[in-house]
Amino acid sequence: MAKTKTPQAIRGTQDIFGAEAESFAFVVETFERVRKLYRFRRAEMPVFEKTEVFARSIGETTDIVSKEMYSFEDRGGESLTLRPEFTAGIARAYLTNGWQQHAPVKLATHGPLFRYERPQKGRYRQFHQIDAEIIGAAEPQADVELLAMADQVIRELGIEGVTLHLNTLGDGDSREAWRAALVEHFRSVKDELSEESQERLEKNPLRILDSKDRRDQRFVADAPKIDDFLTDEARGFFDAVTSGLDAAGVKWVRAESLVRGLDYYRHTAFEFIPDDGSAAADALGSQSTILGGGRYDGLIESLGGPATPAVGWAAGIERLAMLVGEKGEPNADVIVVVEDDDFMSQAFVALGLLRGDGLSAELMAAGSPRKRFDKASKAGPRAIVSLGGQGSLAAPVRSDDEALVNRVGDLLSRSTQFIQSSSPRT
């Protein structure tokens, strides 16, 4: 038989296992716990949608839509796309399921997203996010509550050295006026900007503001500020958000040049970013944002729904997992060692008893019988039950934990399979 080649995993996908998988699970479990504290309701959406769901809401000119989507035709010839983010799909679900009746709704979800990008540290083609959205709430209190939750998730994950960067993009009119002023400002010095920013000038002028290129930064300093274009209403909204955050004890800094990549953002925009020089910044490489979001009051309309205010955020699980440190896999409470294969069935009785009582238990019954105890011992369980070691039905329990020895001894004595020995200790 010809040797079959093992297919490789798809570029930019990951197989997560062991300590890394524990960190990943820790992030998700923490999110689930905190989300219930804030009374966000769990939602599940499909991982793929009609392409137009994303194209229309995210913005045709954004990088995500113009070059990063995994799109394909199904057998009926319809263009479908693997979700590159949660918000658009949630908005669609909100409209097509009549969730409007629950408005305002607080929703939480998590799962895989797909973006066709060059993989690097903290960035994958299939990646995972936790996500929280409040749909149908126009009040700044919604922004405050959403951010308080984000802040608590990060704190409960034990992540340090990360700060909330906050900005406002104003309402639609403010944003447009500001954008026009920025274009004018940068166009006057176009030839002195970096090549990339010259392109951004046409496509996405707001992004010039956070360019890393020195040539751009001199002109960023005296660029028009959003604050000068804010309507009274937009300013009032932002003030309400910031004072709410202060009252809620959420630390934040103003980031005047923080803009978000997607077209649908209005008013509040924010990112949680590691502080310069912190361990977190180090661990993340060039990927800085671990959680980002904002208010998207226009999105639902772009999908054909009624004008509906909403705010949300998403955070990369992989990026968070890199910051929570190693979460080792816990050792077994008990390992049952079969030192003589004649005692195999007793081992299953013992395992059933132990697991039924809530103790994690593992069987060690393969390989050289004489080495099994050593292997069990090496695995570092809280206790070891040895079967057949003395050629008898006795099942000695080895542990430094006296209470556990007694508990295991009591459990085993429930079966006539075992003539309990006088629990010798080591």
Partner RNA sequence: GCGAUCGUAGCUCAGUUGGUUAGAGCGCCGGUUUGUGGUACCGGAGGUCGGGGGUUCGAGACCCCUCGAUCGCCCCA
Q: If binding is defined by CB under 7 A, does position 257 make contact with RNA?
A: no
> Cis before residue 104, ω within 30 degrees of 0?
yes
Residue partners of 7: CB distance under 8 A and separation at least 6 = none
Nearer to RNA among residue 81 and residue 386 (C-beta): 386
Task: Name the residue type at position 394.
Answer: A
# binding residues, RNA (CB under 7 A): 64
Task: For the chain, state the CA radius of gyration.
Answer: 28
Q: Retrieve residue 56's tokens.
A: 């229309």
CA distances from 5 to 8, 20, 195 (A): 9, 28, 45
Reduce the DSSP state of residue 48 to 3 states and report it.
strand
Nearer to RNA among residue 240 and residue 279 (C-beta): 279
Q: Give the nearest distance from C-beta 311 to RNA in angstroms.
A: 14
Binding mask 46-85 for RNA (x = CB under 7 A): ----------------xxx---x----------------x
Q: If binding is defined by CB under 7 A, does position 20 make contact with RNA?
A: no
Nearer to RNA among residue 75 and residue 370 (C-beta): 370
Q: Which of 377, 417, 420, 423 binds RNA (CB under 7 A)?
A: 377
Task: Name the residue type at position 243.
Answer: S
Q: Give the nearest distance from C-beta 423 to RNA in angstroms.
A: 12
Binding mask 157-196 for RNA (x = CB under 7 A): ---------------------------------------x
Contact 100, 303 (CB under 8 A): no
Q: If binding is defined by CB under 7 A, does position 339 make contact with RNA?
A: yes
| Residue 382 half-sphere exposure toward CB, CA atoms < 13 A | 16
Among residues 16, 38, 249, 41, the alpha carbon closest in space to that of 153 is found at 38
Q: If binding is defined by CB under 7 A, does position 102 make contact with RNA?
A: no
Q: Which of 89, 136, 274, 292 binds RNA (CB under 7 A)?
A: 292
Q: If binding is defined by CB under 7 A, does position 398 make contact with RNA?
A: yes
Q: If binding is defined by CB under 7 A, does position 328 make contact with RNA?
A: no
Q: If binding is defined by CB under 7 A, does position 4 make contact with RNA?
A: no
Rounded distance between C-alpha atoms, residue 398 and residue 117, angstroms: 53
Q: Retrieve residue 371's tokens.
A: 């080495």
Q: Give the nearest distance from C-beta 232 to RNA in angstroms.
A: 29
Q: Give the nearest distance from C-beta 149 to RNA in angstroms.
A: 16
> Angle, to 10 degrees, between the axis of helix 402-412 and the axis of helix 344-356?
120
